[in-house]
């Protein structure tokens, strides 16, 4: 009854948690000893000793648990790079809840003459689970309250409490900068155009425009069209675009889908442009590279229809 995870979810480790733990420990022990949640109906003379022991173990449980939570938070920041947020709060709450819950379970067992081993394990497990959940919720709330006060570009990631990386949302679990490095489809010097890393090519490219049945094999064969685009660029995924194509700087990449760019409005991602490479033969979808505009399902194969490029 002393392993209340609420008191372990704050990793501050301040003296106040000894006092809070003592109050909770005394009340919970008194309620259990007297079979009533109303202190006015307790037999203080008969159960006063148990209540004092409950207060003592509650103080130790709350104080030591809060210190353990603070130590876990410091470890997460220095070793894991997690400064706070949902994960930081959950880590602190789990550690503090496990330590404090084990002490609380020990106190319960001693006060009421129950199995010490079982009490410690039960208190540790309950404290860890409850502390992790409550700590994660409080960590998320704290970060969520900070973000509206921060300027654009300084927002904090809800999961880790770190500064949101370029191209990521506040809810991204992978909070690393999102950009393409070391492109593999390159010919000549590699220019960087906005968010596109590309290789420049000159010449003719082939595009599948339909299919026909081969009367000899009775199989579908692609109908190819060879078009001149001089010069043009090719993205890492093999998508052909006009030479000076770019993606507006105010567009960010969808944290849940590669090569999808857009904006966040009212907490919702709105897709403005998406680049798709062709699917393999036999799989659903067009076999040629293409792109989509404004979230439309329409496949655009003509590279000259790309909406953003410098003439």
216 with 299, same domain: the answer is: yes
9 with 145, same domain: the answer is: yes
Q: To which H or E segment does residue 108 belong? A: helix 85-112
232 with 284, same domain: the answer is: yes
Nearest CA-CA partner of 163 in 16, 152, 108 = 152
Q: Residue 95: which domain range?
A: 5-149
Helix, strand, coil percentages, rounded to 5, for the chain: 40, 20, 35
3-class SS at 223? strand
Residue 224 lies in a domain: yes
Residue 174 lies in a domain: no
Is the pTM higher than 0.75? no
At 225, the pLDDT band (50, 70, 90 cuts) reads low
Residue 185 lies in a domain: no
142 with 37, same domain: the answer is: yes
145 with 201, same domain: the answer is: no
Residue 170 lies in a domain: no
132 with 220, same domain: the answer is: no
**Structure confidence by residue, pLDDT tens digits, 243-254:** 677 788 888 888
Residue 242 is encoded by which pair of tokens?
A: 């006009």
Of 95, 123, 149, which one is at a domain's C-terminal end? 149
Contact 129/97 with Cβ under 8 angstroms? yes
Specify the pLDDT at position 240: 63
Q: What is the mean pLDDT of residues 253-269?
A: 82
141 with 205, same domain: the answer is: no
**Structure confidence by residue, pLDDT tens digits, 138-184:** 888 988 898 888 887 788 889 888 888 877 888 888 888 765 444 33
Q: How far apart are CA 141 and CA 146, in angstroms?
A: 9
Specify the pLDDT at position 242: 65
Specify the pLDDT at position 152: 72
65 with 126, same domain: the answer is: yes
199 with 297, same domain: the answer is: yes
Residue 162 lies in a domain: no
Of 149, 182, 204, which one is at a domain's C-terminal end? 149
At 14, the pLDDT band (50, 70, 90 cuts) reads low
122 with 206, same domain: the answer is: no
Specify the pLDDT at position 208: 61
Residue 103 lies in a domain: yes
Specify the pLDDT at position 3: 45
133 with 232, same domain: the answer is: no
Q: To which H or E segment does residue 16 belong? A: helix 16-34
Pairing status of strand 268-276 against strand 290-293: antiparallel
- Percent residues over pLDDT 90 in the chain: 2
Highest mean pLDDT (candidates 63-67, 86-90, 106-110): 86-90
What's the domain count of the chain? Answer: 2
Nearest CA-CA partner of 14 in 61, 66, 50 = 66
Q: How far apart are CA 9 and CA 73, in angstroms?
A: 10
Residue 183 lies in a domain: no
Residue 99 lies in a domain: yes
85 with 140, same domain: the answer is: yes
Specify the pLDDT at position 280: 72
Of 124, 149, 174, which one is at a domain's C-terminal end? 149
């Amino acid at each position: 009854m002393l392993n209340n995870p609420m008191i372990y979810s704050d990793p501050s480790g301040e003296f106040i948690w000894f006092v809070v733990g003592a109050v909770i420990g005394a009340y919970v022990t008194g309620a259990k000893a007297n079979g009533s949640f109303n202190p006015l109906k307790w037999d203080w003379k008969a159960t006063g000793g148990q209540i004092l022991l409950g207060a003592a173990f509650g103080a130790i449980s709350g104080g030591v648990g809060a210190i353990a939570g603070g130590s876990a938070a410091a470890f997460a920041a220095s070793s894991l790079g997690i400064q706070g947020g949902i994960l930081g709060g959950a880590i602190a709450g789990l550690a503090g809840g496990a330590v404090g819950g084990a002490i609380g379970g020990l106190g319960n067992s001693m006060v009421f003459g129950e199995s010490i081993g079982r009490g410690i394990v039960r208190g540790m497990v309950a404290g860890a689970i409850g502390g992790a959940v409550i700590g994660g919720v409080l960590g998320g709330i704290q970060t969520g309250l900070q973000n509206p006060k921060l300027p654009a570009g300084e927002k904090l990631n809800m999961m880790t409490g770190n500064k949101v990386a370029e191209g990521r949302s506040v809810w991204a679990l992978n909070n690393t900068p999102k950009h393409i490095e070391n492109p593999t489809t390159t010919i000549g010097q590699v220019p960087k155009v906005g968010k596109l890393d590309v290789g420049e090519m000159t010449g003719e490219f082939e595009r599948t425009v339909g299919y026909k049945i081969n009367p000899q094999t009775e199989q579908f064969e692609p109908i190819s069209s060879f078009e001149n685009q001089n010069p043009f660029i090719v993205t890492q995924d093999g998508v052909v675009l006009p030479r000076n194509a770019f993606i507006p700087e105010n567009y960010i990449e969808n944290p849940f889908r590669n090569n999808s760019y857009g904006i966040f409005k009212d907490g919702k991602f709105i897709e403005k442009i998406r680049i798709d490479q062709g699917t393999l033969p036999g799989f659903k979808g067009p076999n040629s590279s293409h792109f989509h505009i404004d979230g439309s399902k329409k496949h655009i194969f003509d590279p000259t229809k790309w909406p953003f490029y410098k003439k």
